[in-house]
Amino acid sequence: MSIQVLQNYAEGKWVNAAASGETLYNAINGDPIYTASSEGLDFGSMMEYARKVGSPALRKLSFQQRGLMLKALAMYLNDRKDYFYTISALTGATKADSWVDIEGGIGNLFTYASMRRQFPDASFYVDGEAAKLSKENTFIGHHIMVPKEGVAIHINAFNFPVWGMLEKIAVNLFAGVPAIVKPATATSFLTEVVFKEIIASNILPEGALQLICGSARGILDYVESQDVVTFTGSAETGKKLKAHPRLIEEAVPFNMEADSLNACVLGLDVVPGSATFDIFIKEVVREMTTKAGQKCTAIRRVIVPANVLEEVHIALGKRLASTIIGDPSVEGVRMGPLAGQAQREEVREKVAQLAKVQSIIVGSLDQFEVKGADKNKGAFFAPIVFLNEQPFQNIACHDIEAFGPVTTLMPYSTNDEAIQLVKMGKGSLVCSIITEDNEIAKEFVLGAATMHGRILILNAECAKESTGHGSPMPQLVHGGPGRAGGGEEMGGKRGVLHYLHRTAIQGSPTMITAVTNVYQQGALQKETDIHPFKKHFEDLEIGETLVTAKHTITDADIVNFANVSGDHFYAHVDVTSLDGTIFEGRVAHGYYILSKAAGMFVDAKKGPVLLNYGIDECRFTKPVYPGTTIGVKLTVKEKIGQEKKSAEDIAKGIVKWLVEVYDQTNETVAIITILTMVKMKQQ
């Protein structure tokens, strides 16, 4: 393969880099394959381009439109993934390693595309509930969250060239913020291949993404207060970037996800030879050998009960001995090389430091076989297990991380000792405990939680479907305290909020309704002559209200509902059992009030309303006794359009309705938010 020059993508065009840039190598045979440089790029101009072109284009889209944009991009990349696998092999990744990187990254796009169902059909987000700020409710407060007007700068690590990019841009693009992606140069050739397909798709608006394959030194000099910087990599580098004067001066959010000394604990209840013990051994070995241990979540410390230390040693040794190292394209190879010679030398240095205070009991720096390749030309490294019999005294394993297939085995005697040991890592992305004992798990989780971003409790019940110790999921936060950087990314909706600015707004309920597009209680209501169930989705207005006729509750209503529903709770049917309760007499079922309210506001004839979609909130705020007269106000609270899943699908949207049930004194007895699916006129 001839040496190719990687391109950068800046200000809407591909920019040819200097041929004299940094040389990148094939991790398997050491051959030079690419060069990368950022010479000639104007970082300040790139930042301005993102702010002035990308930001307005993304901000004007609704969450629904951004979600569909991500879905289209995920499908586009998924159709082209075979070529990505070919390039990924040059990084030393096996097919399984590449699957995590490539399809895991695309999966993040799909996940955040589906997140649109949790957001409004608007370009901004209404956060939480309204705050009542006055006695008569004529003055209220609320919070809205709008996309920041800056750019996200993503500085990524070398170990996941695809996932590292896609898991981050999925979040900022969905939030409505453009990004400049800076992959680690060593493996940026794989990022560039995927990025080229993203641009070729023409799915994203102009200015949404830019790429720097070479050095980005100096880019932080141009950040402003609306920007966001994310970093994944070593804690040492992260701390230097975090202290950049410009970040401090402009108060720029800096999210750091640093490598950490993650741990796996074998519970005191687990017996050697059991299925749970086998799960533990399999999990440790998998996390040591996946990506050749080059994972920020890899298990660096294996903490086991002192009485099974030898059995764990033997079991790990046997399983690791069967791991075939070599060229990932060769049949039977289960672990490829490290990402490059520089990484190999760095890991060797860290192993040498650890070896000063603890002993290697599995593996060797030099004595190992490689299949289908020359181990000296490639960046191959055998799995190594250290033994530290005094982990409270010899603490190097809690401070030094060898970023490869290296871990330290250590003993503990009590659950409290296990908790102390995992916390000695001074902050980790993840730890796991393998146990079948609920009490052991609970005590461990509550004791270890403050120093971990995620804790996996693994046993036979969930092992088959578990995604494992080392797999951050887009629905859950990924990050950790202390050494792990103190940041968070992904986490479903939580991740999106990092790219939004929260603003408190105050005013009348009517004005806050107008701003938020969500009806606020007490706002002006609009009555029309046409029943709202006869209107199509487009014709319904926020605040449009139906005021129903009234109904007086009778004893017969309550008895009949009890017989129909089967709900014979004493407060509804036995007036002799009410002493010592809050009730003055027989009380109507809350669900009868809800059902009766529906009967009062529903229009029975066929119309645009397709179905009842569910209930978001329901509160019964005042007892309803026989003789009480109730009425209902049905108000359009919020509207969320839905996309058509096929040409034959019906165009429709979800309408949220505020249902207020009140009595003859005008007091609210029940308040409910219901959802209906409503047909659109335009098909």
pLDDT higher than 60, residue 55: yes
pLDDT higher than 80, residue 19: no
Residue 421: per-residue pLDDT: 97
pLDDT digits (tens, 9 = 90+) for 203-219: 999 999 999 998 888 89
Looking at 2.60.40.10, 3.40.605.10, 3.40.470.10, 3.20.20.140, the CATH number of the domain 4-257+495-500 comes to 3.40.605.10
pLDDT higher than 60, residue 15: yes
Task: Give the residue range(s) of CATH 3.40.605.10 domains in the chain.
Answer: 4-257+495-500
pLDDT digits (tens, 9 = 90+) for 557-568: 999 999 999 999
Distance set, CA 663 to CA 138, 508, 524 (Å):
22, 25, 20
DSSP state of 8: E
Cβ–Cβ < 8 Å for 155, 213: no
Q: Helix H segments across 410-488?
A: 415-423, 438-448
In this structure, the strands spanning 209-211 and 228-233 are unpaired
Cβ–Cβ < 8 Å for 209, 179: yes
* Amino acid sitting at position 290: T
In this structure, the strands spanning 477-480 and 406-412 are unpaired
Residues that are catalytic: 257, 296
pLDDT digits (tens, 9 = 90+) for 636-671: 999 988 888 888 888 898 999 999 999 999 999 999
Give all strands of the β-sheet with 13-16 in edge-to-edge order: 13-16, 7-10, 209-211, 179-182, 152-155, 228-233, 254-258
**Token digits for 325?**
């190292």
pLDDT higher than 80, residue 584: yes
Higher pLDDT, 363 or 305: 305
Q: Region 525-543: what's the mean pLDDT?
A: 91
Residue 1: per-residue pLDDT: 54
Q: Which of 440, 425, 435 is nearest to 480 (CA)?
A: 425
pLDDT digits (tens, 9 = 90+) for 499-512: 999 999 999 999 99
Q: How far apart are CA 227 and CA 251, in angstroms?
A: 9
pLDDT higher than 70, residue 232: yes
Cβ–Cβ < 8 Å for 141, 128: no
Q: Region 479-505: what's the mean pLDDT?
A: 88
Cβ–Cβ < 8 Å for 558, 590: no
* Amino acid sitting at position 400: I
Residue 5: per-residue pLDDT: 86
Element at 196 (helix H, strand E): helix 188-201
CATH architecture assigned to 525-679: Roll (3.10)
pLDDT higher than 80, residue 17: no
pLDDT higher than 80, residue 402: yes
Q: What percent of the chain has pLDDT over 90?
A: 61
Residue 296: per-residue pLDDT: 87
Phi first, then psi: give them for residue 346, nearest 5 degrees.
-65, -40
Q: Which of 640, 576, 545, 623 is nearest to 117 (CA)?
A: 640
Q: What is the 3-state secondary structure (H, E, C) of 518-562?
A: CCCCCCCCEECCCCHHHCCHHHCCCCEEEECCCEECCHHHHHHHH
Q: Region 362-381: what's the mean pLDDT?
A: 88
Residue 473: per-residue pLDDT: 82
Higher pLDDT, 483 or 447: 447
Q: Region 119-144: what's the mean pLDDT?
A: 90
pLDDT digits (tens, 9 = 90+) for 425-469: 999 999 999 999 999 999 999 999 999 999 999 998 888 888 888
Q: Which of 31-40, 273-282, 397-406, 586-595 comes out lowest in average pLDDT? A: 31-40
Residue 149: per-residue pLDDT: 94
Task: Give the residue range(s) of CATH 3.10.129.10 domains in the chain.
Answer: 525-679
Q: How far apart are CA 683 and CA 681, in angstroms?
A: 6
Q: Please state, rounded to an integer, the average pLDDT across all residues of the chain.
A: 91
Task: Give the residue range(s) of CATH 3.40.309.10 domains in the chain.
Answer: 262-484
H helix and E strand count, the chain = 20, 29
Indicate left, alpha or beta for 420 from its phi (over 0: left) and psi (-120 to 50: alpha): alpha
Q: How far apart are CA 452 and CA 558, in angstroms?
A: 53
Q: Region 37-44: what's the mean pLDDT?
A: 90
Give the number of C-alpha atoms closer than 13 A to the C-alpha of residue 323, restricted to the C-beta side: 28
Q: How far apart are CA 340 and CA 333, in angstroms?
A: 18
Residue 627: per-residue pLDDT: 93
Q: Region 154-171: what's the mean pLDDT?
A: 91
Coil/strand/helix, residue 505: strand
Q: What percent of the chain has pLDDT over 70?
A: 100
Phi first, then psi: give them for residue 387, nearest 5 degrees.
-115, 125
pTM for this prediction: 0.86
CATH says 262-484 is which class? alpha beta
Element at 571 (helix H, strand E): helix 570-573
Residue 387: per-residue pLDDT: 95
Q: Helix H segments across 207-338?
A: 235-242, 245-250, 275-289, 309-321
Residue 16: per-residue pLDDT: 83
Q: How far apart are CA 589 and CA 611, in angstroms?
A: 24
Cβ–Cβ < 8 Å for 419, 448: yes
In this structure, the strands spanning 428-434 and 152-155 are unpaired
